[in-house]
Structure 1
Amino acid sequence: MDINHKTSKICLVIHSLQAGGMERVMSELASYFAGKKSVETHLILYGINREIFYSVPDNIILHKPSFKFDNNKRFISTIRTVIYLRNSIKRIDPDSVLSFGEYWNNFVLLSMLGLKYPVYVSDRSQPDKSLGKVQDYLRKCLYPTAKGIILQTEKAKEIYLRNNKHSNIGVIGNPIREFAHLNYVSAKEKIVIMVGRLIKSKHQDILIEIFAKINKPDWKLMIVGYDHLKQQNMERLKKLARDLKVGDRVIFTGKHDHVEELYQKSSIFAFTSSSEGFPNVIGEAMSAGLPVVAFDCVAGPSEMIKDGYNGFLVPLFDRSTFENKLSLLMDNEEVRAEQGANALKSIRDFTKEKICDSFHSFISNSNN
């Protein structure tokens, strides 16, 4: 689907394009808009770390502050960034501004107060998660000034509307990368894979403990991810695996640029996170034809996983059930194959084209 109208200017705003789920979605949107002749696309990176991990098309007009954010002069740097963001958007003169990030949206809306440009904010966090008193207060005050709010799940919308009001809320999931080129059968090994940053809310330690308890020596557990948020968890998790006598069967890859190759080798995707907005990695695993065992955290997994059809949804922190479902899949190749095929079918609702079309429609039609 294409939206036919005169050339429009869209300004995408995000703190950085470093490796991460939110950043990957923004890069997908940038690529999508860059392919439209009817759209002039600008991208502003304004955060402390303006790293670009994901590729940006050549015809995207990229904007970054010329100054570094000095943490030793945090207040001054913040004011400079507000002024930079405000002035940059005024110079661009866009038809729509799209901001990503639960913490960062407040900053963007604050910077844009009093300007005429319609700002759309996409909230990417676990919907019932407090961001702290200050951020929660700012969100309650500033989100009503947005032209529209984009949430990732129906559950997120339900939770948001319990305590807030807004007349223009859209529910749009994430575009899931398609791995149609993968060989889904011949390359499979007895590997359970989990992909996610090594932060406490992902609970890789729980997965290691469950894997050790299942005790199937011909299987390996592959943990893909890196230390983040100043949490030094890699060494702690490696020690846990050694202490549980599975150190030789738990593989830590660190950051990996070609995770699709790891999905291709693996047979099951396991996900023990307790806090999500919309977990891209579940969708990617399903797109690679893997059945999924995941905690039914708020929110996201239940939007993609149909229990018993393409994987298993497990009540949050129910280790016993998680162990049973994971063990069932490890023991039964036929069930793995059937659920993996179903996963591949069901994830097609989240193709890049469909999701990006939805974003484009929402931030364009809402201006009419």
Structure 2
Amino acid sequence: MAKIAFLLGKITNIGGIPRVVSLLTNSLVDKTNHEIIIIAYEKGKHEGYNWNSNIRFYHLLNSPTKMKYGIFKGVPKLRKILKAQKSDILISCGSLYGPLGVLATRFNSTKLVYWDHSNYFENTSHQMKIESKNFTAKFADIVVPLTKTDKKNYKNHTKAKEIIQIYNPIDPALENLNHKYDVKSKKIISVGRLTNQKNFMTLVDVAHIVLHEFPDYEWHIYGSGPDQEKINTRIIEKKLEGKLILKGQSDNLYSLYKEYSMMVMTSIYEGFPMTLLEGMANGLPLVSFDIPTGPNEIITDDKNGYLIEPFDIERMAEMIMGLLTNESLRINFSTENRSRLNVFNNTTITRKWDVLFNDLTSK
């Protein structure tokens, strides 16, 4: 048994990192004998992701503080928690908190795992991001990237001691779904935060072409974010009101996927896109731009969906329209997606982390 601490920014019900951490830690508690604690950089409510009741929560700072100031308070507090809990392993989740993990585990017995949740070259969410990744990778005992592509990137561009690639898991609630693919559905779905990363402005341009040729279809976008007004203005400019619809945040999205004919993703970059896994679990044909990491390890072009040269609007629209006119191809893509789920299921991913923990604590 190992005592494992996960370090992340804030425990909330919004955001990819806490969501994935909750899936993994709940599974670790259920399937292994490891003891798990969660340490948040900032204080926040641990609600929304049904955390296992056996997981204990700690925080380093009581209010939002920029890392360049907060690191001076955060490091001694983190070291104190790790010592008091006799933590064998600290997992720093995300590049912003990597250096914090390095400084808190230097010259003590706690091993450091750096779990990167974006692609190696993504450098937009905070200053000095690549420098932070390089620094953390140099001192971490193990680096865990999400994709095979990023495993190569870390090998080629950092001084990481050991790199072990592990995919994010599908939510167990989406495993073993038995509803039939609705080949007659006339609705397309896209999901994501309404931010520049998700590139919904380009999606509007794609939808303008598709919905002009297929006026009996609707396209729904689920998510909220700062770009909502900008995206809505573009929808109005393209005269797509009532056809391309911003549906907002949904608490029952899992139950809605079965109503759609396909999933489309237009992101500029991803780490490992969980929404594509959700679409896969529901047997939806997938269409995405072939951005550097993520989509091409979920989608095999012309097998379970389409990968489109970034950011070819005309080509994406063409391939979507081709799918809409070909029921048998959509059924084939749907069937193929359901057959691929074992690679990403919760049990498979939890087992890989369990092996990593056992190997690391035995060294």
Instruction: Give the TM-score normalised by the residue count of structure 1.
Output: 0.90
Deviation sequence 1:288-307 (CA, Å, 0-9, x none): 10000100101010001010
Choose which of 15, 25, 36 in structure 1 pairs with 2:9. Answer: 15
Q: 1:306 to 1:85 in 2, by over 3 A?
A: same
Tell me which residue corresponds to 1:53: 48
Is 2:135 the partner of 1:141? yes
Choose which of 131, 147, 155 in structure 2 pairs with 1:153. Answer: 147
Q: 1:92 to 1:81 in 2, by over 3 A?
A: same
Tell me which residue corresponds to 2:176: 180
Checking the alignment, whether the CA contact within 8 Å between 1:187 and 1:265 is kept in structure 2 is no
Q: 1:147 to 1:219 in 2, by over 3 A?
A: same
* Alpha-carbon distance in structure 2 between the residues aligned to 1:308 and 1:136: 34
Deviation sequence 1:247-276 (CA, Å, 0-9, x none): 111221222122112211111100000111
Tell me which residue corresponds to 1:106: 99
State the 1:320 CA deviation: 1.8
Checking the alignment, whether the CA contact within 8 Å between 1:194 and 1:222 is kept in structure 2 is yes
Choose which of 163, 170, 174 in structure 1 pairs with 2:164. Answer: 170
Is 2:186 the partner of 1:190? yes
Deviation sequence 1:120-176 (CA, Å, 0-9, x none): 011111222236663433432332211100011111011222221323110111101
* Alpha-carbon distance in structure 2 between the residues aligned to 1:17 and 1:151: 21
Q: Aligned pair count?
A: 356
AA aligned to 1:170 is I
State the 1:76 CA deviation: 5.4
* Alpha-carbon distance in structure 2 between the residues aligned to 1:79 and 1:50: 23
AA aligned to 1:218 is D
Choose which of 206, 220, 223 in structure 2 pairs with 1:222. Answer: 220
2:306 is paired with a residue whose SS is strand
Deviation sequence 1:13-69 (CA, Å, 0-9, x none): 21223322222110011101211462221111223655543121111122234x522
Residue segments in structure 2 that go unaligned for 5+ positions in a row: none
AA aligned to 2:236 is R
Tell me which residue corresponds to 1:28: 23
Checking the alignment, whether the CA contact within 8 Å between 2:3 and 2:88 is kept in structure 1 is yes
Tell me which residue corresponds to 1:331: 325
AA aligned to 2:165 is V
AA aligned to 1:103 is L
2:353 is paired with a residue whose SS is helix
Deviates most, 273-282 or 185-194: 185-194
Deviation sequence 1:152-210 (CA, Å, 0-9, x none): 11110112222213231101111012253452335963111111111112111111111
Checking the alignment, whether the CA contact within 8 Å between 1:69 and 1:77 is kept in structure 2 is no
Q: 1:39 to 1:156 in 2, by over 3 A?
A: same
Checking the alignment, whether the CA contact within 8 Å between 1:329 and 1:335 is kept in structure 2 is yes
Instruction: Give the TM-score normalised by the residue count of structure 2.
Output: 0.92
State the 1:245 CA deviation: 1.1
Q: 1:181 to 1:106 in 2, by over 3 A?
A: same
Is 2:115 the partner of 1:122? yes
Checking the alignment, whether the CA contact within 8 Å between 1:296 and 1:316 is kept in structure 2 is yes
* Alpha-carbon distance in structure 2 between the residues aligned to 1:52 and 1:112: 28
* Alpha-carbon distance in structure 1 between the residues aligned to 2:353 and 2:67: 34
Is 2:106 the partner of 1:88? no
Q: 1:124 to 1:44 in 2, by over 3 A?
A: same
2:164 is paired with a residue whose SS is strand
Checking the alignment, whether the CA contact within 8 Å between 2:273 and 2:294 is kept in structure 1 is yes
